[in-house]
Amino acid sequence: MAKPNRSGARPKPRRPVAKAVAGGRSPALIATFVAVGVLAVAIIGYAIYAVTRGDGGQPAGTNIAGLTNYRASDPKMLTRNHVRGAVAYPVSPPVGGDHNPIWQDCIGDVYPAAIANENAVHSLEHGAVWITYRPDLPADQIETLAGKVRGTPYLFMSPFPGLDRPISLQAWGYQLKLDTATDPRVDQFIKDFRIKAAPEPGAPCSNGVTATGTTPHNTPGG
């Protein structure tokens, strides 16, 4: 019990600091401490979230308008076995699944005729984006697409007879069908998936099959 001071009034007992902080004298002080505490927790919490979330295994771009995300809707389709001979792909053009042991050359190749699905799917596994177009696409649009592909590894393009839209872009597990080569989503798809969509990163695009023809090729080159 505190001694009375000179004026005779007994000074208030010194309260523990904890009480002053938690429930003490001034509502403004409490509010300040609470606000600072909430802000601190929010910053720390967000930093932990941002640093630990990673990619979740998906490249960016899964929100491009019109994209079909087969990794989400049909992941069981995306098997990766090497097989010889023809493969019946459920999606056309295919976006993944079993494929030929040899990939289609995808180091900026612009093919003048249809190529084998089974070789092309292997190229998707290596991270290439495969641009396909209906053969009746106007020549200037074909050239627009070719200008993007030529000389750029992990891009290749070929005509695809029977395509149900003028243009279809494929990456491993992703497809985007479009009507014109000047659609900005072409560049967006390439930016989001070229190389990034590879389930097998680091694999090359050179020294693959350079021949055209839809029967799968079992040796590289032409």
Partner 1 sequence: MIDPPTGGPAARTGRRAYLLGGLAAVVALAVGVAIGLLVPSSRPGDGSAEAGFARDMQTHHAQAVEMSMIAYRRSADPEIQTIGLDVALTQQAQIGTMRDWLDQWQLPPTGSRPAMAWMPGHTLTADGRMPGMASRQELDRLRAATGRDLDILYSQMMIRHHLGGIMMAEEVLRRSDRAEVRSVAESMKASQQNEITAFMAVLARNGAKPS
Q: For binding to partner 1 (CB under 8 A), which residues are involved?
A: 1-3, 14, 16-18, 21, 37, 40, 43-44, 46-48, 50-51, 60, 107, 147, 150-154, 190-192, 194-196, 201-202, 204-207, 221
> For residues 48 and 53, what is the distance between their CA atoms, to the nearest angstrom?
8
Pick the closer one to partner 1 by CB: 97 or 173. 173
Report in angstroms how near the CB of residue 22 gets to partner 1 at its nearest: 10
Report in angstroms how near the CB of residue 98 gets to partner 1 at its nearest: 25
Report in angstroms how near the CB of residue 41 gets to partner 1 at its nearest: 9
Report in angstroms how near the CB of residue 128 gets to partner 1 at its nearest: 12
Alpha helices by DSSP H, 53-176:
70-73, 117-125, 139-149
8 A C-beta contact, residue 163 and residue 93: yes
Pick the closer one to partner 1 by CB: 169 or 205. 205
Q: What is the CA radius of gyration of the chain?
A: 30
Pick the closer one to partner 1 by CB: 79 or 182. 182
DSSP letter at 3? P
8 A C-beta contact, residue 80 and residue 185: no
Pick the closer one to partner 1 by CB: 14 or 76. 14
Separation in Å, CA 99 to CA 19, 41, 204: 70, 50, 16
Pick the closer one to partner 1 by CB: 79 or 206. 206
Alpha-carbon torsion (75, 76, 82, 83), positive or negative:
negative
Report in angstroms how near the CB of residue 135 gets to partner 1 at its nearest: 22
